[in-house]
Structure 1
């Protein structure tokens, strides 16, 4: 027995049953209980995976906002996600956070999934390899990663109640594979169970998946925590392998679990095993026994070092989808018209629990030398105002003032908040107020859309406006937090005009805030302005995209069409511009009815805090946008092997089986998985394989035949006889113009096996190997087997 396990034994023996059980539910929304008697400090956890938000749901510490998961994944380079993990570890250490809740390693099963922006890819092997590196990057600096959501949580509709119906072969070969790889190669110190059920059993009670497979067959020695508010039972979840209930301090364990043990429904040794895993996690992050020393002097989120790093990570993963006649990169000195709401207000991150508070978000209008024209309205709902839109009426500092009053209307507290929203209902300073008033001054003179966000009864005032408003909470768990409702009015305001929203205090968690942004103009007027600017320019860059309404936790999309009149805007510009270059500010596929009419398309993802600077670097060629797509883009709504996210009678069948994503496409998509042009051209020479009982490796000579330095990603696929095609390996290479290299691609045996009647066996060696730049650009085919 190791010294650690001996210390854990002594700690467990020192506690009575209620004390043990107390430690197995969180102490707050993002914290765990300390227990000084056994040398256990309180652990702090934070949402991820593209930033470390900290223990405040809103208005927390300013922290780095990284490019989203799909944009990082489009590098097709585990070293990039390892770098991202290490950066996040530094951000966690800055805030004394022990556990980061990421990476998300569910798959892109259907492009409608609202939370796909947090997940890497539709391919399990690519997802697994990127996840391994991310976990190693975090844990290499002593911060626990938490791969999530275990298991079959590929969509958000009815996510708390949906039963994902998945056959055993598909579970093993597809949805479990990224978790299997992470456990085998990186040993994440914690892991999160999902909300949904899998084949009739809720994830937090799923003994076959947690006890038998994860902890038994795979030998996982880490901790399994619930997703927030996902645990619904005491005995069933405890016996099902769940180790920690989040959040706290209330929950279904506590006294109920103590009673279940005393009634013989749960063995106390089972509780001890859960506590053992919690103490093991605490030791690994420096919170059990001798407490860790937190590093000092780490780069600030807005430091030159971080800004350059985040710009590079974002720009390098951007993907050139189309580039007729080398329309990109932009020519030096040409006159550029920059058009679109996303150019002025880029969407840097998705919605929901992954949101963080960055030091800034650079817009494309700031970063690119161009004449700028606003675009059509892209939102139907509201988000927090951009920094600088509102100021505290007392101090003049950016943000708002929050005033709490007691039952008699007496001011209890008045304080400045840097952001324009607050979080109420987590045992914090706003919980016992009889009323809450959010008040601010606008910082500009123009027609503005102002209002309020958050469920409750409200009184709203502005010059010439006094309204009583009642807003209900959104559907599902966290409806008033993840997607708070809003009410707005469009009015002409002078700088310094005051807006105020007052609501009674009430129980339950709520995100409350003010709304302030420029009021949208009629689409015809906006498009007319855009056409005029495009006609006078050498190149028109139209920036379109999705918003946090479509790419968010808790809600799935219903269409891949761009919101508002963005398609009409692109078409109108393309009809008059000398060159039309479209930048798409979105993480997941969109329809492109204008594709044939434009000269180039740059897929920009959700680029994080350096958004505009990264897009400018990609457009000008300062950084090659060498990304390759990580999911297949449909040409029409409904295309592909899986589409609907709506359960029928509570069940969501994964009817496509192992043919998920590109594996199940029978028609030509808009863009294939793996597609990406970069800024140079590539020639492939003779290819060969190393084959034993499986395809062990592939090799091919590649030559950069273009005029620019570039990065190529050599992709290797296996199309077995009678089975779907699947990625089995890839390798990246960077070459100067005219340079050649022999690229060797190791091929993974885990995607060359078959789950058959309860055990693994090798896939029969037969079919063909494809060596490709993407499934739409296959450069070599080699037969294997008989």
Structure 2
């Protein structure tokens, strides 16, 4: 199959428009105009298309410093509800957020799989299972595109970790690629007709994802008949002719890149058929038509909910709380009785982490901590005490601790200068950290940034700076200088993993701090003292916060307070140091002395509930010492309200795990994220996560995929297969509360691996029963015949077993299957 033969995108619809443009004009439209916009072409009625990052909110056209927007619960938390209607609602909400900003394409959902729990970017992706991921993604896409905003499935394909992400070669056999890693893309493309996809940074079996003729042309456009547009991840495209022939339509960002004149020459030299360029442009025009950027301009929607409106507060609270998962519950402690003396403990209670790091970051309209959320319900009856330090790296100053000395508003003030010393701009910053040089539209490059802030803290203070460059800092009598460089070589580390330094100083009263940084993007030229500064790109910020205390002192304070409580609620978790783009984890252990804090509180308090503020698995060496564990994910802007609703039973935390929790580091079918000689071998094949544990390829996990207790108890009976092979089972709510049950069906074919084949949910009052039918998805019953290079014929009824379960560790019924 030639590139031009791969499922042309409605050639008759836009052929005349394409034919009206010369080659250079066509090629120009196939690269971005700016970081997040595409070129208009008035001669064919094409207006500017606007794109935005979007897994947990529609940030807009700026990487930082953009408008305050809604911050959604993270993908794993949303997915844990196992509720397609909830994801359809999320898609519609994100579309409204996009429409409010004039955004046409939202870059999400992320539908890579949780291959290993070390993956730093798993918080953006739904689950370890391809069926669950695909169906939830299809619902998300349907909700979004029904409002005329395009979704973008990412990252195509085998892009499950961040280590060496720009150079890693994912080595995946064809059967595993088809049955596992391509399946979520297939489901979302087939069921929801997603309008765009994003090709990843990595190579797949030796070929860059942006040049994948096999995946993009032969499978996605050819076999699936998909008519959408494939864009590159930002800066991922490595070539002109191979990428254009490989099926890539759009290179991002712009205006510079590997196409332009190089692609024109490749076409003129016969390396790329002009028919391939024409098809790329037809797909771009089809996308523009779908989102209302081609032809007559649609009327702008009115009365969209504000990010902080009562409607959004209700939605965000309900969606986050519904996905929260009760992992253990010993004795009648949940829901919490508000008449009890409750003590809340932990740094995560006071500084709740509501989103992961990297391109998923947004400027939220507000964030509610767990302490604020519980205090809103319990008032003065709640006692709050800080916990141990949870970070190794310093973070930008909270706006509650810094004030713009020019405007008096929370935040800082910056002056941006060109190399000749002329002032480019000065501006107030709502945050103590900003990106400079990445998505600016200044006529000149920024060479120096001066920032001033008035500090609202005194005593022992950690004071320093973040970002690559030559720094000077002054605060009262304290002066410091630093030369900071990016250590790694990965793309975008100046923004995603900037270097930092700080000193611990004594400050008295209100102090104005001033920092000056001469921008240096990396070590390039660092050995040459006469080399001019690199007027580069970076994330620059001010560090200012009370100095950290010894862990022993923090634990002693917590123990003293909880001894007088009826219930202690300890909030522990991860931060953007572990859950972020560009960096993978090295362990599943909680950072700092959080495990010691939990154990000490559990020993001192009559009853202890642990809330885990993390999107991905953590180790729990204290599990047998506490009364209940609530996994809360990264709960978004209403995080504290959602945790309070879940703990107090105002919204049932009815989540089921979307990722298997290993019992120890390394105790999973796939573990390492580190390439060997450039290759990351997917040697476990299809046995990732629960599939590998069930097959005995890894030890018993701490918690199985699908596990979740809710706030009630259930009996199951009368499991059977219908005449069409559909499983049914009667479930009865035997507990005291209205509750939601999720019936999961796992297919275990003879000689094959176990896999989720379907699920269905029901909500019942106490004592009620209902028969639940679980439709099975035939796509997970297929097997790829490597010898034939095709799908093996699927039997009407495969031989094997069907497991009906409340999670793969709690199988309630086994139904034998006989081929037929």
Provide the TM-score with structure 1 as the length reference. Answer: 0.97
1:313-712 aligned within 5 A: 313-368=319-374, 369=378, 370-407=382-419, 409=421, 411-425=423-437, 426-429=439-442, 432-475=445-488, 476-494=490-508, 496-505=510-519, 506-665=534-693, 666=696, 667-690=699-722, 696-712=725-741
- Post-superposition offset of 1:406: 4.6
Look up the match of 1:280.
Answer: 286
Q: Which stretch of the first structure deviates more once superposed, 408-417 or 245-254? A: 408-417
- Post-superposition offset of 1:405: 3.2
Structure 1: distance between partners of 2:74 and 2:277:
37
Is the 8 Å Cα contact of residues 474 and 480 (structure 1) preserved in structure 2?
no
Structure 2: distance between partners of 1:135 and 1:389:
40
Look up the match of 1:758.
Answer: 789
Structure 1: distance between partners of 2:781 and 2:493:
42
> Could you say what secondary structure the match of 1:499 adopts?
strand
- Post-superposition offset of 1:491: 2.7
Structure 2: distance between partners of 1:323 and 1:214:
45
Q: Which stretch of the first structure deviates more once superposed, 643-652 or 367-376? A: 367-376
Look up the match of 2:772.
Answer: 743
C-alpha distance 192-374 of structure 1, shift in aligned 2 (>3 A): same
Q: Which stretch of the first structure deviates more once superposed, 422-431 or 27-36? A: 422-431
Structure 2: distance between partners of 1:344 and 1:412:
38
Is the 8 Å Cα contact of residues 556 and 645 (structure 1) preserved in structure 2?
yes
- Post-superposition offset of 1:741: 0.7
> Could you say what secondary structure the match of 2:154 adopts?
coil
Q: Which stretch of the first structure deviates more once superposed, 406-415 or 446-455? A: 406-415
Structure 1: distance between partners of 2:126 and 2:13:
39
Q: Which stretch of the first structure deviates more once superposed, 129-138 or 462-471? A: 462-471
1:74-473 aligned within 5 A: 74-368=80-374, 369=378, 370-407=382-419, 409=421, 411-425=423-437, 426-429=439-442, 432-473=445-486
Count of residues in Structure 1 that have an aligned counterpart in Structure 2? 782
Structure 1: distance between partners of 2:443 and 2:753:
55
Structure 1: distance between partners of 2:170 and 2:480:
44
C-alpha distance 3-438 of structure 1, shift in aligned 2 (>3 A): closer
C-alpha distance 720-412 of structure 1, shift in aligned 2 (>3 A): closer
- Post-superposition offset of 1:438: 1.5
CA deviation profile, 1:6-51 (whole Å, cap 9, x unmatched): 5622221221111111110001111111111211111110001110
Structure 2: distance between partners of 1:242 and 1:382:
40
Is the 8 Å Cα contact of residues 285 and 292 (structure 1) preserved in structure 2?
no
Look up the match of 1:771.
Answer: 804
- Post-superposition offset of 1:393: 0.4
User: Structure 1 residue 35 and structure 2 residue 41: aligned?
Assistant: yes
C-alpha distance 397-569 of structure 1, shift in aligned 2 (>3 A): same
- Post-superposition offset of 1:496: 3.0
Structure 1: distance between partners of 2:387 and 2:9:
63
Structure 2: distance between partners of 1:408 and 1:252:
31
> Could you say what secondary structure the match of 1:413 adopts?
strand
Structure 2: distance between partners of 1:306 and 1:493:
41
- Post-superposition offset of 1:495: 5.0
Structure 1: distance between partners of 2:591 and 2:56:
25
Structure 2: distance between partners of 1:463 and 1:772:
64
Structure 1: distance between partners of 2:776 and 2:371:
44
CA deviation profile, 1:399-451 (whole Å, cap 9, x unmatched): 11011235565544322121222222234349533421121112244533232
Look up the match of 2:818.
Answer: 785
- Post-superposition offset of 1:518: 2.9
- Post-superposition offset of 1:3: 13
- Post-superposition offset of 1:251: 0.3
Structure 2: distance between partners of 1:537 and 1:549:
33
Structure 2: distance between partners of 1:434 and 1:641:
49
- Post-superposition offset of 1:388: 2.3
Structure 1: distance between partners of 2:422 and 2:258:
38
Provide the TM-score with structure 2 as the length reference. Answer: 0.93
Q: Which stretch of the first structure deviates more once superposed, 139-148 or 455-464? A: 455-464
- Post-superposition offset of 1:520: 1.4
- Post-superposition offset of 1:474: 4.7
Structure 2: gaps (5+ residues): 1-7, 520-533
- Post-superposition offset of 1:339: 0.5
C-alpha distance 362-495 of structure 1, shift in aligned 2 (>3 A): farther
Structure 2: distance between partners of 1:492 and 1:302:
38
C-alpha distance 749-4 of structure 1, shift in aligned 2 (>3 A): closer
CA deviation profile, 1:101-150 (whole Å, cap 9, x unmatched): 00000000000000000000001000000000000011000000000000
Structure 1: gaps (5+ residues): none
Is the 8 Å Cα contact of residues 704 and 738 (structure 1) preserved in structure 2?
yes
Is the 8 Å Cα contact of residues 391 and 442 (structure 1) preserved in structure 2?
yes
Is the 8 Å Cα contact of residues 9 and 279 (structure 2) preserved in structure 1?
no
- Post-superposition offset of 1:682: 0.5
- Return the match for 2:744 from 688, 694, 715: 715
Look up the match of 2:522.
Answer: none
Structure 1: distance between partners of 2:710 and 2:412:
44
- Post-superposition offset of 1:690: 2.6
Is the 8 Å Cα contact of residues 453 and 487 (structure 1) preserved in structure 2?
yes
C-alpha distance 656-691 of structure 1, shift in aligned 2 (>3 A): farther
Structure 2: distance between partners of 1:129 and 1:109:
18
- Post-superposition offset of 1:308: 1.1
Is the 8 Å Cα contact of residues 318 and 603 (structure 1) preserved in structure 2?
yes
Structure 2: distance between partners of 1:153 and 1:609:
28
C-alpha distance 387-732 of structure 1, shift in aligned 2 (>3 A): farther
Look up the match of 2:525.
Answer: none
> Could you say what secondary structure the match of 1:312 adopts?
helix
* Structure 1 vs Structure 2 CA RMSD: 1.6
CA deviation profile, 1:436-469 (whole Å, cap 9, x unmatched): 1121112244533232111111111223321111
> Could you say what secondary structure the match of 2:783 adopts?
strand
Structure 1: distance between partners of 2:536 and 2:237:
18
Is the 8 Å Cα contact of residues 115 and 552 (structure 1) preserved in structure 2?
yes
